[in-house]
Structure 1
């Protein structure tokens, strides 16, 4: 699944027109002209400064993270969605994409409502505000449909109007400034139901405009250069404006005027008409910016094919790639909000959505930094993992402090979408940092494991099963999976006899076949294929080279040779494996079940002859019983004695072994002078029989073969075990 490329180059805007101006116009919008006086009147100068600084700090930290990621990858359309999805993966990207698009679409309605509220004083009485808002929303929609190029050119005239209105306000505030009034408005005076956090929630949407430039990333000439410079410059300029306004508003009008008069800036300005023009320009420009940004997020999300229902919205116009279908969708959402909500209701919702987006953007940058992935080479050097982490934590804390209930809703929505995308298993070809994060965590854990002193309590089965292609010896694959699926590691090994120079293609092919089988049966396993001069040399090479540091195979799972000729070679392999310090399990199976993956019925019988091999046999039997496929089976710990005299003592010893090992099972003592006959008779209906063994001495392979055959007889499933130690039942 890849980002569909447009056949056209589209628009190519620079830092000033594509980032700085859209950010400034969105930040200096409806909140500044119509709600900032209310914030100052309620929170006072002191807390207002805290609100502005805290908001700017969060957006500054987020902008640093945004700049780092933007200078580390080729930025396409979609802004924050694109950056988050390419870092945290399609699941997080798809979840945040929906939320971020919705916030931008709702921002359109917020700015349109702000325009309508400001225009109410200039319209004839009786005109419906909803009608005015609807007509304004349609006009914004029409402007954006014409194209981003025309809209971005219009923004310079809007910027000039805002500069003129600010100049009018500053001159008027200078003339009417009173230090006594400033002192009266310095401390907070909250009305009932208002607090620092309600004012923060009301103000924060004003600073969310930092994404206005990033949302146009697909239309920028050089996103990696323009996004950092334009965004940071916009944050700095607007911070100075808001901080200075807090002092000027508090020193120019009493608290009652600040709280009750939404157009208090007009009363203070030397030329009130300029304020009206600024309000109209700011609200319309912010609405235009959001109406341009939201469809590009939706288009990028649709083109990534994460949601089938959204795919038609990824189509761009033939001439310049404009997302006109997505623009229409944005218009319909904003119009629904205009009909169903008001300005004070929408602002906190937008705040939560943006805080979640900013938090994940910071988190993505934090993970990119700490994984030390060689591909993370941002040109922007002012971002550190600590600043990204601080930004993520700050966003989370502010969400909870503003309204923990809405915070849970927002986080729950992201979690739900993430779970949905994980369940449908979306595929992407752009990569993400999950593998890098796992690699770094694994690397650190391996290094720690290397320095840890080994203790038998920590023994786990790391099984190397010599399974061939997997399809040729399925019983080894299944048995290895049963032993390791809950607590261990399984490697499926195959040896290809021959020379590497004419077998390497076959080696690659066989490794792919093993991968396919592992995937088909959903195994927790790894493939390992080697080319060697002969089979024995290949097995020994696999045993010695598999693993990393302490994490290496401790148990070798082999099939049992059923002819004396093969045993002559096999005996030498057993001796070499013992010399390498590996435990060996030789699986001898005489039956041919219809389905290898179904565990046979019956008990698991462990024939005890001492701790040398017995401890490993009991532990392996316990691991089988822990597997869901072997539930409702019973472990039996058995021993053969020559006479009745020792039954009680041996039985007590076996019971004590299971009790100290904390393993459930039954014990039985069999009296017989013929151990082979006793084993075959007692365990004829067992699902699996564990027997200990010792590798044959050189030259004794034939005798070893016949002795083993006599011992197991016609038992259908037998595991012959040679333990290399390293575990204790009591641990």
Structure 2
């Protein structure tokens, strides 16, 4: 029966502490078969120098990951699931679910691997055949299954026995090594042996030794204080095991000759004071590693099932007893281990399993970097000895290690993780917990907005940022859909409702907008403004909407509900007045006339039969219509539609007008058919566009009334046309702007003029200095000549020089004044680089 966790002492009295729950399973997995059967081989083939380097690199991954683990584990209350829990609560359901599933499989398969190793050692010791090794492995699995079935308490008691055996084996080895110690052997074993395997091959042999330091994380659900125990226990296990491996490598090098170390996997037996303890240590190491996996795998599965990531796994969420022991997970892990033993050659699977552990370490490091980079106020880990770039380095080292060990296995493991990630991204429901992704995206928004504010605006950067006004639920879906067509994934839409009722109704109005946006399938943000009137609310909104450089530039709204109401004239006048106010505030206007029958007719049209007609008049409004129509053709709905641009004839010359229009469309890179018509009267519009799917028409305001191109009210034209978008631009829309144009070009010209003014001022200053020097020379010459005639000549020459000096000073003063003026103009432009496009030309002329 499943027992939910509580804070009562009755429940927590069976929880494990740092030593039993983290340190013991971690260090027993690290001090495994590699230490007893492969470390001597590494020293003999690679030499002590390379062995120490291999240990250093492997433990760099362990230490960096331990630092990341400590930071993230002390930032939240760690529950069951270990690596899966930490990663899923940071990087999200998809990464966590993918990693959790493969880690469960990897640890379950590892049980079989370790037991096969145990069986082979026993069979080899007693000279039995291979089939006996598999039977021994099955017996070992049965014994470990019984301990895991009883729960963590029983398994912990077994681990204490194992630890005692391993400690005795190491003591026997170190005592024997001291008796065999020879400095000459140490010097001889420093370099690698002739024809030794490559460094990375030897690294691949050793690296599985350090893949057990996160075993304690898998037991997080059984810990009394995971936030404290996980960092302490993990660092203790990593630190002590590092000392053991370094000391053991040194003692191997100083105890036996290189040839013997390289050829005999059981070299530790030759060195040990009591060899029988080494054999016991090998047995204990294999069984302890298998036991740690038997404890960890079911708890990952239980946490995964509790989160309902994979509905098929939900039954495995049930636990037994006060410790919530995952017996169903133990049963499944045991079955996978038995299946693993029957597979035979498992080399490929073994390397892929190692890759899964490396991926988990890499993701743990990246999750810590991800969380720290989000700069979230909630990221307050108690463990302070970390840095986000150290975590990023840990993720990078894990990736490099995967590629160095076996790039094919690495590719296979990454492909499997990615496939599960994509599956969850498409099928998983809303996450049942908050992760770090939203904080990360908020930080990215902040950084990008600040960066945008430092960069100059340019016409090429223009994209539709739309405020869609709607108070009618019956027509809101059409407005939202049309807005999504206009921005075509390049802009943003905010759905606005001005609420003239009580502020108490604002929340229900917001919920209504959320519902309508969700029902439409369109991406948009809802916004409800409470105001005494529509005029006051819209005026305040239009003047204050946006943040920094990200502001709305286009207003989209439905045309009036009815053409036949008795108060239509008054309603239309108020409508036009509000449009005029928005236009003066610098907003482009798009008014959609979408009648329900015409909308339904559009939906029934074949995609390749749809046509958009643009009634084009040269200018900003015409350019805006062309751009919006082009953006619409990027959406799936209008992808196959035809664009047609209609323009009136000039001076009666149809061919010349057509050629000019075609060249203009070519220059602005918009694919459309050019058509020349006789005029823009209502009759002509009806004649050419009655069968169009959508019509873009220029919007004109005359005395707060909306009129067509011929100056007549649109209330007679719109009812007989299909879907119509009335458009007027308040901003400069340049569809063929060069990179050198815009504010950057204005500043560049201003800087050039300032440089020229500074050069001229410098030139006049040098001219003044030259004339001053000439005057001084004349005065000196006058003192040296005594005749009256010579003095008169020099006096006249001095007078001319002084006149030249006065003129040069005036020129210099004017040049300095002009330079200061240009400098002030440039400073003003830099302060006002965010000015709107309508003021750019004025600034350019002033510069």
TM-score (normalised: structure 1): 0.93
For 1:53, the equivalent position in structure 2 comes to 56
For 2:517, the equivalent position in structure 1 comes to 518
Q: Does the alignment pair 1:467 with 2:475? A: no
Which of 601, 605, 622 is equivalent to 2:630? 622
**Any idea what SS the aligned residue of 2:213 has?**
helix
Are the counterparts in 1 of residues 15 and 323 from structure 2 also a CA contact under 8 Å?
A: no
Q: Does the alignment pair 1:176 with 2:204? A: no
Counterparts of 2:458 and 2:557 in 1: how far apart (Å)? 27
Q: CA deviation digits over 1:26-57, x for unaligned, max 9? A: 11112211222222222221111111111111
For 1:129, the equivalent position in structure 2 comes to 133
Residue 487 of structure 1: how far off its partner (Å) = 1.7
**Any idea what SS the aligned residue of 2:720 has?**
coil
For 1:508, the equivalent position in structure 2 comes to 507
Are the counterparts in 2 of residues 201 and 351 from structure 1 also a CA contact under 8 Å?
A: no
For 1:678, the equivalent position in structure 2 comes to 684
For 2:808, the equivalent position in structure 1 comes to none
Counterparts of 2:74 and 2:601 in 1: how far apart (Å)? 53
Q: CA deviation digits over 1:501-549, x for unaligned, max 9? A: xxx3x32222222222222332121111212212232333333333222
Are the counterparts in 2 of residues 45 and 250 from structure 1 also a CA contact under 8 Å?
A: yes
Are the counterparts in 1 of residues 352 and 410 from structure 2 also a CA contact under 8 Å?
A: no
Q: Does the alignment pair 1:404 with 2:407? A: yes
Q: Does the alignment pair 1:165 with 2:169? A: yes
Counterparts of 1:703 and 1:201 in 2: how far apart (Å)? 78
For 2:97, the equivalent position in structure 1 comes to 94
Residue 65 of structure 1: how far off its partner (Å) = 0.8
Further displaced range: 3-12 or 199-208: 3-12
For 2:293, the equivalent position in structure 1 comes to 290
Q: CA deviation digits over 1:454-487, x for unaligned, max 9? A: 1111111111111225433433222212111332
Residue 382 of structure 1: how far off its partner (Å) = 1.0
Further displaced range: 695-704 or 153-162: 695-704
For 1:17, the equivalent position in structure 2 comes to 20
For 1:662, the equivalent position in structure 2 comes to 669
Q: Does the alignment pair 1:579 with 2:581? A: no
For 2:828, the equivalent position in structure 1 comes to none
> What is the correspondence of 1:458-607 to structure 2 with a 5 Å cutoff?
458-500=461-503, 504=504, 506-561=505-560, 562=563, 563-590=568-595, 592-593=597-598, 595=600, 598=603, 602-607=610-615
Residue 250 of structure 1: how far off its partner (Å) = 2.0
Over 3 Å counting, the alpha-carbon distance change for 1:291 and 1:552 in structure 2 is same
For 1:35, the equivalent position in structure 2 comes to 38
Counterparts of 2:101 and 2:287 in 1: how far apart (Å)? 24
Counterparts of 2:122 and 2:73 in 1: how far apart (Å)? 39
Q: CA deviation digits over 1:595-630, x for unaligned, max 9? A: 387286553222233314211111122122222212
**Any idea what SS the aligned residue of 1:553 has?**
coil
Q: CA deviation digits over 1:205-238, x for unaligned, max 9? A: 2111211211111111111111101110111111
**Any idea what SS the aligned residue of 1:550 has?**
coil
For 1:216, the equivalent position in structure 2 comes to 219
For 1:150, the equivalent position in structure 2 comes to 154
Counterparts of 1:304 and 1:548 in 2: how far apart (Å)? 38
**Any idea what SS the aligned residue of 1:668 has?**
strand
**Any idea what SS the aligned residue of 2:633 has?**
helix
Counterparts of 1:341 and 1:290 in 2: how far apart (Å)? 20
Which of 53, 71, 77 is equivalent to 1:68? 71
Over 3 Å counting, the alpha-carbon distance change for 1:12 and 1:344 in structure 2 is same
Counterparts of 1:12 and 1:371 in 2: how far apart (Å)? 33
Further displaced range: 620-629 or 456-465: 620-629
Residue 687 of structure 1: how far off its partner (Å) = 1.9
For 1:695, the equivalent position in structure 2 comes to 701
Unmatched 5+ residue regions in structure 1? none
Over 3 Å counting, the alpha-carbon distance change for 1:190 and 1:350 in structure 2 is farther
Residue 176 of structure 1: how far off its partner (Å) = 1.0
**Any idea what SS the aligned residue of 1:218 has?**
helix
Are the counterparts in 2 of residues 655 and 667 from structure 1 also a CA contact under 8 Å?
A: yes
For 1:637, the equivalent position in structure 2 comes to 645
Over 3 Å counting, the alpha-carbon distance change for 1:699 and 1:15 in structure 2 is closer
Which of 364, 383, 388 is equivalent to 1:385? 388
Q: CA deviation digits over 1:169-197, x for unaligned, max 9? A: 111111112222223322223768x4322
Residue 59 of structure 1: how far off its partner (Å) = 0.8
Counterparts of 2:28 and 2:213 in 1: how far apart (Å)? 10
Unmatched 5+ residue regions in structure 2? 738-847
Q: Does the alignment pair 1:726 with 2:729? A: no
> What is the correspondence of 1:368-383 to structure 2 with a 5 Å cutoff?
368-383=371-386
Q: Does the alignment pair 1:446 with 2:449? A: yes
Over 3 Å counting, the alpha-carbon distance change for 1:573 and 1:196 in structure 2 is same
For 2:761, the equivalent position in structure 1 comes to none
Counterparts of 1:281 and 1:543 in 2: how far apart (Å)? 74
Over 3 Å counting, the alpha-carbon distance change for 1:704 and 1:569 in structure 2 is farther
Are the counterparts in 1 of residues 599 and 723 from structure 2 also a CA contact under 8 Å?
A: no
Which of 328, 334, 338 is equivalent to 2:337? 334
Q: Does the alignment pair 1:252 with 2:255? A: yes
Counterparts of 1:454 and 1:279 in 2: how far apart (Å)? 70
User: CA RMSD for the aligned pairs?
Assistant: 2.5
Are the counterparts in 2 of residues 680 and 712 from structure 1 also a CA contact under 8 Å?
A: no
Q: Does the alignment pair 1:651 with 2:665? A: no
Q: CA deviation digits over 1:334-379, x for unaligned, max 9? A: 2222232468666533321110110111111110000111111110
Are the counterparts in 2 of residues 6 and 316 from structure 1 also a CA contact under 8 Å?
A: no
Residue 633 of structure 1: how far off its partner (Å) = 2.6
Over 3 Å counting, the alpha-carbon distance change for 1:699 and 1:195 in structure 2 is closer
Counterparts of 2:355 and 2:476 in 1: how far apart (Å)? 56
Counterparts of 1:428 and 1:536 in 2: how far apart (Å)? 41
**Any idea what SS the aligned residue of 1:629 has?**
coil
Residue 658 of structure 1: how far off its partner (Å) = 0.7
Over 3 Å counting, the alpha-carbon distance change for 1:548 and 1:700 in structure 2 is closer
Counterparts of 1:168 and 1:664 in 2: how far apart (Å)? 84
Counterparts of 2:518 and 2:45 in 1: how far apart (Å)? 61
Over 3 Å counting, the alpha-carbon distance change for 1:28 and 1:441 in structure 2 is same
**Any idea what SS the aligned residue of 2:526 has?**
strand
Are the counterparts in 2 of residues 604 and 635 from structure 1 also a CA contact under 8 Å?
A: yes
Are the counterparts in 2 of residues 469 and 514 from structure 1 also a CA contact under 8 Å?
A: no
Counterparts of 1:619 and 1:703 in 2: how far apart (Å)? 20
Counterparts of 1:721 and 1:589 in 2: how far apart (Å)? 14
**Structure with the larger RCO, 1 or 2 (CA within 8 Å, 6+ apart):** 1
Residue 572 of structure 1: how far off its partner (Å) = 1.6
Are the counterparts in 2 of residues 116 and 129 from structure 1 also a CA contact under 8 Å?
A: yes
Which of 311, 320, 323 is equivalent to 2:323? 320
**Any idea what SS the aligned residue of 2:214 has?**
helix
Which of 415, 420, 436 is equivalent to 1:417? 420
Further displaced range: 571-580 or 67-76: 571-580
Are the counterparts in 2 of residues 639 and 669 from structure 1 also a CA contact under 8 Å?
A: yes
| Pairs aligned (count) | 722
Residue 433 of structure 1: how far off its partner (Å) = 1.3
**Any idea what SS the aligned residue of 2:252 has?**
helix
Are the counterparts in 2 of residues 78 and 217 from structure 1 also a CA contact under 8 Å?
A: yes
Are the counterparts in 1 of residues 576 and 705 from structure 2 also a CA contact under 8 Å?
A: no
Counterparts of 1:42 and 1:496 in 2: how far apart (Å)? 80
